[in-house]
Amino acid sequence: MEFTRVRKNTYITKIDWTNVGMYRIRGGDEVVLIDTGYHESPEFMDLLEREGVNVLAVIHTHLHIDHIGNSVAVEKRYGSKMYAHLLEEDNEEKKEYGVEFPVIYTRENEVVSVKGNKFPTIFAPGHSPGHQLVVTPDEVCFLGDAILSKGYLAHSLTPYMFDAAQSLKSMERMKDLVYPVYVAAHDEVIPKEEYRDTVQRNINRHLRLFEMILQSAREPLDRETLVDRSLIASGVHNPEARQYGWMVDASAARIKNLLDSGVLVREKGLIVWRKALEDISE
């Protein structure tokens, strides 16, 4: 495990499948981390020790377990200030895993300042309620899970979103961002030349997943059956698959979006696509 340079004083390393960012203030030993990776990692803490750094702060894109795995250890060792968006305060996954550390909660698009170094945040909810992008002073944009890289997207059959409709709105806004380089939380660095196309591929995937739910709901179904059919339609056939529970939650969240918008409706306790119901009644 080691840090590799992305641009100027901005580096990344990977813990399991999650990228962790590090910005060296004036190229020195005082650093700011972006997220802290998946699970408690003695190797990561040893890496920080070998680098001889002092972690002044951690700015979290969001508070899912694969982004906060070492936040407790980092805060205890370095007394680091921990930042996250206010809407992450009640993050259910953080509570589920019993991870507790003091957090300074920020507002929408707030700029976090560490020793005069500015780290703009860009509010991009959807994957989680308070998801945000974090930009280093080198203009490296850390995307968190708002956008998946092309490589990761190819293997992620049904990307998790707390609110997929909200996520689509965030992605549409994100298409107009212009930075020299972007870091996806899982997989690879995205050069600016590929960024806009990568965002559009993410949008297309989510629209396709909505369409699969509608096609599955051409006949009235109970919620559980509709979730199962929509997952099968998206290529998920193994309930024992890694992260299957997240896939179920993601499909259920998309169904809720469609119910809230009136595209899906309830009919005698079952869920059906409004258009299909209207076609049947004509």
* CATH at 40: 3.60.15.10
Number of domains in the chain: 2
One domain for residues 200 and 227: no
For residue 34, pLDDT over 50 is answered with yes
One domain for residues 91 and 184: yes
For residue 170, pLDDT over 80 is answered with yes
For residue 278, pLDDT over 60 is answered with no
pLDDT single digits (tens) 142-153: 999 999 988 888
One domain for residues 55 and 164: yes
- Give the DSSP H or E segment for 13: strand 10-15
CB 183 within 8 A of CB 142: yes
What is the DSSP-derived secondary structure letter of residue 274? H
Q: What domain range includes position 222?
A: 216-281
One domain for residues 147 and 173: yes
Distance between CA atoms of residues 69 and 110, nearest Å = 24
Degrees (nearest 5) of the Cα angle 17, 58, 77? 95
One domain for residues 170 and 121: yes
Question: Which pLDDT belongs to residue 241?
Answer: 61
One domain for residues 110 and 197: yes
One domain for residues 128 and 243: no
One domain for residues 146 and 73: yes
pLDDT single digits (tens) 110-120: 999 999 999 99
Strand pairing report for 4-7 and 10-15: antiparallel
Look at the block and give the residue holding tokens 């806004």: 173
Question: Which pLDDT belongs to residue 280?
Answer: 43
How far does Cα 157 stand from its chain's mean position?
A: 15
CB 88 within 8 A of CB 58: no
User: Poorest-confidence range of 67-71, 77-81, 242-246?
Assistant: 242-246
One domain for residues 74 and 203: yes
Last residue of one domain, picked from the residues 178, 207, 236: 207
Last residue of one domain, picked from the residues 182, 207, 232: 207
Last residue of one domain, picked from the residues 183, 207, 231: 207
Taking all residues of the chain, what is their mean pLDDT, rounded to a whole number?
89
One domain for residues 203 and 223: no
pLDDT single digits (tens) 185-238: 987 799 999 999 999 999 999 999 999 999 998 888 999 999 998 888 888 776
CB 277 within 8 A of CB 263: no
One domain for residues 142 and 28: yes
Look at the block and give the residue holding tokens 């997207």: 153
One domain for residues 62 and 14: yes
Packing angle of the helix pair 42-51, 71-78 (nearest 10 deg): 40
